[in-house]
Amino acid sequence: MLKSINIRAALVSIGLLALLLSVWEATNQPPDADKPLTEYEMLMGGADQEARVPPPSAIIKLAVEELSNPFYDAGPNDKGIGIQLAYSIYRVLSGFLLASLLAIPIGFLIGMSPLMQKALNPFIQVLKPISPLAWMPLALFIIKDSETSSIFVIFICSIWPMLINTAFGVASVRKDWINVARTHELSPLRTAMTVILPAAAPTILTGMRISIGIAWLVIVAAEMLVGGTGIGYYVWNEWNNLDLTSVIFSILMIGIIGMLLDLALSAATRLVEYEE
């Protein structure tokens, strides 16, 4: 039954995609060069002065060209899409991993200690709503390096979902399991590693999954601000070159990489799920 639903869902998705691309292609064709110009068009100096979105055929053609040699490097402002994505993925993963090293232990502390939960909650509530990009000017002033500043911004935006989900997952572990650990005279550290961590792992990984999605969103905007390299800079540079085809192609690549990152953490979450 489930397999049948999956097949039908895939067919519906393919059908919707084909319909969308067909409508997009049909409504964004260039004007007919053989068609005589109207008096208004002659006054305007051309057949069609209205800006048009590039059709899917043009984007697919560009994608084939770009993906056939994604790692070329022809100078500071002319690098392949593979190099630009690699810079962005490196920054995201660096900030994300650093955030996990801090957020997960603090989340454990908050989840296991009502005292620490009440003590740290005001700091969390004040810092959590601040936009990650608001930290960029301060980071650039203190760190004085755009690469490290971008990683710092990813670090900041990745902390909160992981920390909050970890604290929630740890606090939600069944008290019976913790009492059994106490009965066996397990140390707090061993209880945390052998009882609480496996029980809270699905919730922790859900927080990590949310964090990686937010980090991938933020890196595009951060790279637009600092420039240099990365997929965000690539989008902004192509827009400045008035190359809308490349802009749309890079948007699609951003979506695909974001989907792959989410799928990786989703698969990790399924590995640690359990039924009580």
Highest mean pLDDT (candidates 38-47, 87-96, 186-195, 264-273): 87-96
Spatial distance between the Cα atoms of 74 and 138, rounded to a whole number of angstroms: 33
| Lowest model confidence (mean pLDDT) among 161-170, 172-181, 200-209 | 172-181
Mean pLDDT along residues 102-125: 92
Question: For position 105, what pLDDT does the model report?
Answer: 94
pLDDT of residue 42 exceeding 50, the answer is no
Q: Closest Cα partner for 196 from 173, 215, 225, 179?
A: 173
Residue ranges covered by each domain of the chain: 54-272
Domain 54-272 has CATH 1.10.3720.10: yes
pLDDT of residue 30: 64
Cα angle 175-178-182, degrees, rounded to a multiple of 5: 135
Confidence band (pLDDT; 50, 70, 90) for 211?
Answer: very high
What is the reported pLDDT for 89? 95
Distance (Å, rounded) from C-alpha 10 to C-alpha 55?
Answer: 24
More confidently predicted of 56 and 31: 56
pTM score, whole prediction: 0.84
Mean pLDDT along residues 37-49: 47
